[in-house]
Amino acid sequence: DVAFAVAPVSEQEAGELLDQIQARALLGSFRGEPAVDREALVEVILAIARMAEDHAEIREIDVNPLLIEGAHPVAVDALVAIGEPAKVSTRAPADISRLDSVVAPRSVVVVGASADTSKWGGMLVANLRLGGFPGRLYLVNPKGGTILGLPVHTSVSELPEAPELAVIAVPASLVEQVVDECGRKGVKAVVVVSAGFSEVGPEGRALEDRLVATAERHGMALVGPNCMGVISSHHKLYATGFLLLRPQPGGASMVSQSGNLGTQLLVAAERRKGGVGKFIGVGNEAMIDAVDLINYLRRDPLTTTIVAYMEGFDDGRRLLEVARETTLEKPVVVLRGGMTDYGKKAAASHTGALTSSTAVFEAAARQSGMVVCTDPDEFMDLTFAFSYMPLPPGRRVAVATMGGGWGVLVSDEIARSGLELATLSPEAIADIDQLLPPYWSRSNPVDLVATISPGVPEAVVERLIADNGVDAVLVMGLVGSLSESKRVQEEIERLKRSLGGSKNEVGPSEGYKAEPPEPELSERETAFIHRMAVLMDQYCKPILNISFKPMSQAIFSAGGRYSTFVLPSPLRAVRVLAKMAWYSGYLTRQGRSLRC
């Protein structure tokens, strides 16, 4: 029964620690004993945190037992262990002013360009060319020739100008030479996708160190090596290898310490029609690491949500400080790898990442306002939720459902997730009485009893979201079911045609077709989806929709500030909403507005 915090600890954070232990009930009035003086206990925690921060030689402080007599703490026994100060990994912040040339270059050169798209140099060229990069694009390969209508230069030196960004896909043994040539030419930034550096051992580490020294000597920004590349969809810069990737523009920007996982997440965003404004694969983080990029994206006006896949970090203190500043302005969602012994070993093998204590990282995330998850599906759900919906002002949830079973399951999950099932006001119940049949549930969850008459579900949802006692609404089963009547009519028409106009009752017609994998939305359904987005814009509260049928598209824009977000599972929706509510509470505790 342990709660962690990273020093320095604020008074508020010390108080929150007391509420995180499972035995917190013992701190209140218990079996006739008066409640413990929380202020006195908080002062003890603050004092111990200051000791640890002020005296690096202290390795351990153990106060046990600690008695609180009235307002006076008494340390019955204590142990303070002294030793050599622990070695703390520190890393100087990179010059993030150079990163503009990485995400918004006016000209790009691909070194190691190829006509073979099975090679990284070939796919980089294809992505940039097919993505419509509007700037000047140069290709370099010693063999020369042309690729996709562009001339191929034999070296960087012979280019007619100094490109702003170089993307390098040559063998590791040649990278240092190419980077030096780029520096002498006047290139401002390089992205090295080539592998074979610190992730493979000491020789690769030495090669990587020389690479960094070369880039620093020329004043260039260096991303990588061993990375997937970079995307800036607002600028039509799609500079990634391996496969075609062109996500549409959006407010979310992604940083990834893993190339293949970052690619999978981008593919998921494309499939679900969610926008990603920027993607930077950091690879081995030789010069610029994930924390530098989070700090850069904090200042980026096109980024509204920062999402990152992280396995480890060199300087945990700097992560904590950067995250504390960033989360006050925009949400930071972290998909965390390397949380177990197995995961830590795997992380070290493919990027050389230094993982941290899971408990300490989770404490740092809680103190700094980062939202953490370990599931890629939940990560993308959170990415879309924070990007396309307003934050809930509280934890009270109203549920509108097409059937009672879903209402039971979602009510259980609301309780497990620390949310509250909102109590509907008598006025709200009276208004909904005028909309639904008399046998509706008359409580929350609101069972619509399959009422899908045009305008009725929309009116029920609006009455719920408008209620002062409701902070968010979950709508289950309407999207995906409103188009069923259209599908039935199409089936009947096919049956009639197969019968040659006969009205005799028969079995399934030869014209029967299975439902397509992606259900076509009816006009009625599209109107409902758009109305949900308008209601979020009007009331500034989130409305999460759960589809009745599987569908790949998740984001539906109505042209306003917010878009309708459709999820495949009510449990996933509740978990996302719980983390949105946690972040809202964090902002409120920090005295910040919810920015609506």
Beta bridge partners of 46: none
Question: How would you class 256 by CB atoms within 10 Å of its CB: exposed for 0-12, middle for 13-18, buried for 19 or more?
Answer: buried
Task: Tell me the average pLDDT across 266-285.
Answer: 94
The SS3 of residue 484 is helix
Last residue of a domain, one of 34, 51, 82: 82
CB contact set of 154 (below 8 Å; sequence gap of 6+): 140, 141, 142, 143, 144
Q: Does residue 129 share a domain with residue 23?
A: no
End-to-end CA gap in the chain: 38
In which residue are the tokens 């798209």 written? Answer: 117
**Which stretches within 443-519 are classed as H helix?**
456-466, 484-498
Q: Does residue 276 share a domain with residue 214?
A: yes
Please tell me the distance from the alpha carbon of residue 110 to that of residue 279, in angstroms, as a whole number.
Answer: 18
184-188, 251-255, 314-318: least confidently modelled range:
314-318
pLDDT per position as a tens digit, 164-221: 999 999 999 999 999 999 999 999 999 999 999 999 999 999 999 999 999 999 999 9
| 516-552 per-residue burial string, b: 16 or more CB within 10 A, e: under 16 | eeebebeeebeebbbbbbbbbbebbbbbbbbbbeebe
Residue 286 has pLDDT above 80, yes or no: yes
231-245, 265-279, 355-369: least confidently modelled range:
355-369
Residue 320 has pLDDT above 80, yes or no: yes
* Cα–Cα distance list, 174 to 76, 119, 198, 234, 526 (Å): 65, 17, 15, 32, 54
Domain presence at residue 493: no
Domain presence at residue 192: yes
Q: At 448, is the pLDDT very low, low, confident or very high (cuts 50, 70, 90)?
A: very high
Is the CB of residue 204 less than 8 Å from the CB of residue 234? no
Helix pair 456-466, 523-539: axis angle to 10 deg: 10
Please tell me the distance from the alpha carbon of residue 487 to that of residue 335, in angstroms, as a whole number.
Answer: 40
Domain presence at residue 500: no
Beta bridge partners of 151: 146
The two beta strands, 278-281 and 563-567, are unpaired
Task: Tell me the average pLDDT across 118-141.
Answer: 97
Domain presence at residue 513: no
pLDDT of residue 487: 62
Domain presence at residue 1: no
Residue 352 has pLDDT above 60, yes or no: no
pLDDT per position as a tens digit, 376-429: 999 999 999 999 999 999 999 999 998 888 889 999 999 999 999 999 999 999
Q: How many domains does the chain have?
A: 3
Last residue of a domain, one of 358, 388, 418: 388
Other CB atoms within a 10 A radius of the CB of residue 61 amount to 15
Beta bridge partners of 564: 556
* Cα–Cα distance list, 258 to 193, 290, 310 (Å): 12, 11, 8
Using left for φ > 0, alpha for ψ between -120 and 50, and beta otherwise, residue 455 falls in left
pLDDT of residue 493: 74
Q: Can you spell out the DSSP letters for 401-434? A: ESSHHHHHHHHHHHHHTT-EEPPPPHHHHHHHHT
Helix pair 316-327, 358-368: axis angle to 10 deg: 30
Q: Does residue 544 share a domain with residue 475?
A: yes
pLDDT per position as a tens digit, 502-522: 555 545 544 445 545 556 788
pLDDT of residue 492: 75
Can you give the residue range of the structural domain that contains 573? Answer: 396-483+521-589
Residue 588 has pLDDT above 60, yes or no: yes
In which residue are the tokens 């079995």 written? Answer: 507
In which residue are the tokens 């950067």 written? Answer: 322
Domain presence at residue 174: yes
Q: Does residue 383 share a domain with residue 400?
A: no
Q: Highest-confidence range of 122-126, 361-365, 453-457, 552-556, by mean pLDDT?
A: 122-126
Other CB atoms within a 10 A radius of the CB of residue 344 amount to 19
Q: Does residue 451 share a domain with residue 353?
A: no
CATH at 19: 3.30.470.20
| 361-392 per-residue burial string, b: 16 or more CB within 10 A, e: under 16 | bbbbbbbbbbbbbeeeebbbbbbbbbbbbbbb
Is the CB of residue 267 less than 8 Å from the CB of residue 196? no
Q: Does residue 341 share a domain with residue 277?
A: yes
Amino acid symbol at 245: L
Using left for φ > 0, alpha for ψ between -120 and 50, and beta otherwise, residue 186 falls in left
pLDDT per position as a tens digit, 529-566: 999 999 999 999 999 999 988 888 999 998 899 999 99
Q: Does residue 343 share a domain with residue 459?
A: no
Domain presence at residue 503: no
Q: Does residue 422 share a domain with residue 280?
A: no
Q: Does residue 346 share a domain with residue 318?
A: yes
Please tell me the distance from the alpha carbon of residue 454 to that of residue 302, in angstroms, as a whole number.
Answer: 38
Beta bridge partners of 139: 110, 152
Domain presence at residue 489: no
- Give me Rg for the CA atoms of the chain: 28
CATH at 410: 3.40.50.261
Amino acid symbol at 316: G
Q: At 353, is the pLDDT very low, low, confident or very high (cuts 50, 70, 90)?
A: very low
Residue (of 240, 491, 196) closest to 350 by Cα position: 196
Q: What percent of the chain has pLDDT over 90?
A: 73
pTM: 0.90
Last residue of a domain, one of 388, 411, 444: 388
Q: Does residue 258 share a domain with residue 218?
A: yes
Mean pLDDT, the chain, integer = 90
The two beta strands, 278-281 and 252-256, are parallel
Q: Does residue 422 share a domain with residue 380?
A: no
* Cα–Cα distance list, 133 to 104, 106, 127, 128, 177 (Å): 11, 9, 9, 6, 27
Please tell me the distance from the alpha carbon of residue 399 to that of residue 474, in angstroms, as a whole number.
Answer: 5
Q: Does residue 539 share a domain with residue 439?
A: yes
Please tell me the distance from the alpha carbon of residue 302 to that of residue 249, in angstroms, as a whole number.
Answer: 10
